[in-house]
C-alpha cells in the first residue's frame, strides 16, 4: 500500500499526520481537565498508529512510473475491510440495544457507558456512518474511476479522506461512551469532531471533482451524479446544522446557535436530508453501477434516471418538516413538508422501477445468484420504504404513527432492506475483482448471508409494524366517558413479545453480516486467479474508432 506512494508523498503523509497529531495534542492540553482531554489523546494515538507503517516503509522502493495507468484500488480495499468491521460492530450494538429494550435488566453494570442512552447512538452512528459511510466512500472511489476511466486525482488524498473519516467515526462513538454528545440525532458529535469532518468532507468533494475532470468518457454516468449530490448536500447539511459555540476551547461541550422551534426545524431539515442524501442518494449511486454490472443488462431508461435524479434532489429538500407534525412548528410548514413528501413518491418509485425493469432479461440470474438477489431485494425494499415514508408523512397517518415503533420499523425496512442489502450486493460484486480473485470464497455462504438478511429483516420489520400500530392505537383509545383506556405501562407490556421478536430478527441479520465478513476475509486470503476477473476497461484506453 505504502509502496504505491513516492518518497515525497510518504513525507507529505507524515507531515499531515504530524499536524493532526499536534492539533490533537493541543486539544488534549487545552481540555486536560475535561472529557476533551481523552479525545486529544485519542487523536494523538490515532495519528501515531497511522504514521507507523508509513515510517516503516519510508525507504521502500518507489512505485514505477506507470501507476497512472492503473486504477487506484488500495484505499478501496481498506475501505471495504473497514466497512465490514463497522458493520459487525454497529449491528452487534444494535442487537444489544434491542435486547435491552426487551429485557432492561440485562444492563449488566451501573456504569454510565453501558446504559441504553449511550449505546443507542453508538449503534446508529456505527451502522449509518461507520458501515454506510465507509461503504459509500469505497464504492464511490470504485465507481468513479471505472465510469470515468481515470485514476483518482491524488495519491495521498484518498487515504486522507478514508482514514480521516474513520477518525471522525471513532471520535463520535467513543464520545458517546464517555458522555460527549450534542444531543442532536445523527449529529451527536461535538464541535471539534464536526470541524474535522468539514475538512475531510471538503477534501472528498474536491477529490471527486478533480477526478471527474480527468475523465476520459465523454459523459458523466448517472451514478456519479448521485454520489456528487450525496457529497455536496451532506456538506451543506452538516455545516448548517452543526453551527455551534463551544463553551471554551478546552471543553468538549458546545451549544447550538439555534433555539426552540428553529432548532427543531434545522435539525429535522438536516435529519431528513441525511436520510435522503446519505442513505438514499449515495446508495442509489451504488445501485446504478453494480446492479446493471452484475445483471449484465443495460439500464432500463436513461430518461427515467434523469427525472428521478432531479425529482429526488429537488423534493427531498422540502420534506423535513414532516418530522414535526402537530408540534409548535407553524401549520403551513407542516403542510409543505407533507405535500412535498407525497410528490416525492413518484421519483422514488421511478428509481426503484428503473432498477427492477433493468433486470428484464436477467431474472434467471436473480434466481441463481444471491449477489444479484441482494440488489433486487434492495430495490424492492427501497420501493416499500419510500411508499411507507410518503404515507407516514400525511398528517393524519402521522398522528397515529409518530413516537411509536412504526417509525423504527420504517427506518429498518430502509436500513436493513435497502441500505445494508444494496451494500452487501455491491461488495460481493466487486470484492473478487478488487483482490484479483475469480469469485467469492464461497457462494454458499453468500446464499446463507442472503437468507439470514432477508428473514431477519422481515421479522424485524413485521414485529415493529405490529408493535407500532398497537402502540399508536392503545395511546389514542378513549372510554365512552372521555378518559384514556390504556396506561402507558399497559402499552409497554403489549410491546414485550415484539421486542423479543425484533431481537431475534436483528440477531439473524447480525449473524448474516458475520458470515459475510468471514467470506470476504477468506476471499482476500485466497489465491490470486491467473487472469484477474475484473473485466474492467483499462484506464485511459484510447477511444476506439466510432466511440
Partner 1 sequence: MAVKEDDPVTGKQTTGHDWNGIKELDTPVPRVVIFFLIVTALFSTVYWILMPAWPLGVTYTRGLLGIDQQTSVENALIRGAIQREDWEREIATLPYDEIEARPELMQIVKESGNTLFGDNCAACHGLDGSGRVGYPDLTSGRWLWGGDPETVEETLRVGINSSHPEGRFAQMPAFGDGMLDRTEIAAVVSYIRSNAEGIDDLGELDAQGVEDGYELYAMNCAACHGEDARGNRELGAPDLLDAHWLYGSDRTDLFQTISNGRAGHMPQWEDRLSLVQRRILALYVGSLSPAERLEALDVE
97 binds ligand HEM (CB under 6 A): yes
Q: Which does 486 bind (CB under 5 to 8 A by kind): ligand HEM, partner 1, none?
A: partner 1
SS3 256: strand
Which single residue is written with the C-alpha cell 426552540? 260
Which single residue is written with the C-alpha cell 444531543? 183
Distances, alpha carbon 42 to alpha carbons 17, 22, 89, 282, in Å: 13, 12, 19, 30
Q: Which of residues 396-455 bind ligand HEM (CB under 6 A)?
A: 407-408, 411-412, 415-416, 419-420
Member of 347, 389, 472, 506 binding ligand HEM (CB under 6 A): 506
Which single residue is written with the C-alpha cell 476475509? 521
5 binds ligand HEM (CB under 6 A): no
75 binds ligand HEM (CB under 6 A): no
x/- letters, 468..497, toward partner 1 (CB under 8 A): -----------x-xxxxxxxxxx--x----
Q: Which does 120 bind (CB under 5 to 8 A by kind): partner 1, ligand HEM, none?
A: ligand HEM
Instruction: Report how far residue 324's alpha carbon sits from residue 330's, in angstroms, rounded to the nearest whole number.
Output: 10
- 472 or 506: CB nearest ligand HEM: 506
Q: Which does 127 bind (CB under 5 to 8 A by kind): partner 1, ligand HEM, none?
A: ligand HEM
The single-letter DSSP state of residue 537 is P
Please say whether the beta carbons of 91 and 513 come within 8 A.
yes
Q: Which does 302 bind (CB under 5 to 8 A by kind): ligand HEM, partner 1, none?
A: partner 1
Instruction: Report how far residue 385's alpha carbon sits from residue 61's, in angstroms, rounded to the nearest whole number.
Output: 51
Instruction: Report how far residue 124's alpha carbon sits from residue 171's, in angstroms, rounded to the nearest whole number.
Output: 14
Please say whether the beta carbons of 217 and 147 come within 8 A.
yes
Task: Spell out the residues 6+ positions from residue 534 whose beta carbon is closer than 8 angstroms to its own.
Answer: 433, 436
Distances, alpha carbon 267 to alpha carbons 191, 232, 411, in Å: 15, 18, 17
* Residue among 161, 177, 169, 176 at smallest CA distance from 193: 169
- 298 or 497: CB nearest partner 1: 298
The number of C-alpha atoms within 13 Å of 180 and in the hemisphere containing its C-beta is 25
Minimum Å gap between C-beta 403 and partner 1 is 16
- 233 or 539: CB nearest ligand HEM: 233
Member of 510, 516, 519, 520 binding ligand HEM (CB under 6 A): 510
Interface with ligand HEM (CB under 6 A): 91, 94-95, 97-98, 101, 120, 123-124, 127-128, 132, 407-408, 411-412, 415-416, 419-420, 506, 509-510
Interface with partner 1 (CB under 8 A): 146-147, 149, 217-219, 221-222, 289, 292-293, 296-305, 307, 311, 326, 330-332, 334-336, 338-340, 342-343, 345-346, 349-350, 353, 360-361, 479, 481-490, 493, 535-537, 546-547
Amino acid at each position: 500500500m505504502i509502496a504505491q506512494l513516492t518518497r515525497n508523498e510518504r513525507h507529505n503523509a507524515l507531515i499531515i499526520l504530524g499536524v493532526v497529531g499536534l492539533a490533537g495534542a493541543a486539544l488534549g492540553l487545552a481540555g486536560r481537565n475535561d472529557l476533551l482531554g481523552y479525545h486529544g489523546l485519542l487523536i494523538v494515538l490515532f495519528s501515531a498508529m497511522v504514521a507507523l507503517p508509513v515510517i516503516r516503509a519510508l525507504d521502500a522502493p518507489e512505485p514505477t512510473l506507470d501507476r497512472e495507468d492503473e486504477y487506484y484500488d488500495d484505499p478501496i480495499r481498506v475501505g471495504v475491510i473497514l466497512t465490514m468491521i463497522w458493520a459487525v460492530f454497529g449491528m452487534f450494538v444494535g442487537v444489544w440495544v434491542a435486547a435491552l429494550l426487551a429485557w432492561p435488566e440485562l444492563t449488566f453494570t451501573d456504569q454510565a457507558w453501558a446504559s441504553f442512552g449511550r449505546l443507542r447512538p453508538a449503534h446508529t452512528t456505527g451502522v449509518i456512518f461507520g458501515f454506510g459511510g465507509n461503504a459509500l466512500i469505497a464504492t464511490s472511489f470504485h465507481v468513479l474511476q471505472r465510469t470515468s476511466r481515470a485514476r483518482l486525482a491524488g495519491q495521498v488524498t484518498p487515504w486522507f479522506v478514508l482514514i480521516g473519516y474513520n477518525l471522525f467515526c471513532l471520535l463520535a462513538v467513543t464520545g458517546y461512551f464517555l458522555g460527549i454528545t450534542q444531543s442532536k440525532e445523527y449529529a451527536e458529535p461535538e464541535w471539534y469532531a464536526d470541524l474535522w469532518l468539514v475538512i475531510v468532507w471538503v477534501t472528498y468533494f474536491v477529490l471527486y471533482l478533480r477526478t471527474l475532470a480527468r475523465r476520459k468518457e465523454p459523459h458523466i454516468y448517472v451514478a456519479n451524479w448521485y454520489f456528487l449530490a450525496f457529497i455536496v448536500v451532506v456538506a451543506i447539511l452538516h455545516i448548517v446544522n452543526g453551527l455551534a459555540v463551544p463553551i471554551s476551547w478546552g471543553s468538549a461541550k458546545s451549544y447550538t446557535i439555534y433555539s426552540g422551534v428553529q432548532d427543531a426545524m434545522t435539525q429535522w431539515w438536516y435529519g431528513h436530508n441525511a436520510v435522503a442524501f446519505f442513505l438514499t442518494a449515495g446508495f442509489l449511486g451504488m445501485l446504478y453501477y453494480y446492479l446493471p454490472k452484475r445483471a449484465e443488462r443495460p439500464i432500463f431508461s436513461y430518461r427515467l434516471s434523469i427525472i428521478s435524479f432531479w425529482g429526488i434532489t429537488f423534493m427531498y429538500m422540502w420534506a423535513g418538516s414532516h418530522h414535526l407534525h402537530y408540534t409548535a412548528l407553524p401549520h403551513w410548514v407542516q403542510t409543505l413538508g407533507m405535500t412535498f413528501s407525497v410528490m416525492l413518491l413518484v421519483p422514488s418509485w421511478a428509481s426503484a422501477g428503473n432498477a427492477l425493469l433493468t433486470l428484464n432479461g436477467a431474472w434467471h440470474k436473480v434466481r441463481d445468484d444471491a449477489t444479484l438477489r441482494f440488489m433486487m431485494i434492495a430495490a424492492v425494499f427501497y420501493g416499500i420504504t419510500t411508499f411507507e415514508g410518503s404515507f407516514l408523512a400525511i398528517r393524519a397517518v402521522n398522528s397515529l404513527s409518530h413516537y411509536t415503533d412504526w417509525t423504527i420499523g420504517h427506518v429498518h425496512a430502509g436500513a436493513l432492506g435497502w441500505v445494508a442489502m444494496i451494500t452487501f450486493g455491491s461488495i460481493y460484486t466487486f470484492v473478487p475483482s478488487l483482490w484479483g480473485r475469480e469469485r467469492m470464497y464461497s457462494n454458499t455462504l453468500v446464499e446463507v448471508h442472503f437468507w439470514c438478511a432477508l428473514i431477519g429483516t422481515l421479522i424485524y420489520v413485521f414485529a415493529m409494524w405490529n408493535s407500532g400500530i398497537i402502540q399508536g392505537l392503545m395511546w389514542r383509545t378513549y372510554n365512552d366517558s372521555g378518559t384514556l383506556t390504556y396506561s402507558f405501562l399497559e402499552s409497554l407490556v403489549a410491546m414485550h413479545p415484539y421486542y423479543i421478536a425484533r431481537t431475534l430478527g436483528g440477531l439473524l441479520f447480525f449473524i448474516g453480516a458475520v458470515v459475510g465478513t468471514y467470506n470476504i476475509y477468506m476471499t482476500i486470503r485466497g489465491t490470486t486467479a491467473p487472469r484477474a476477473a475484473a473485466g474492467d476497461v483499462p484506464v485511459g484506453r484510447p477511444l476506439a474508432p466510432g466511440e
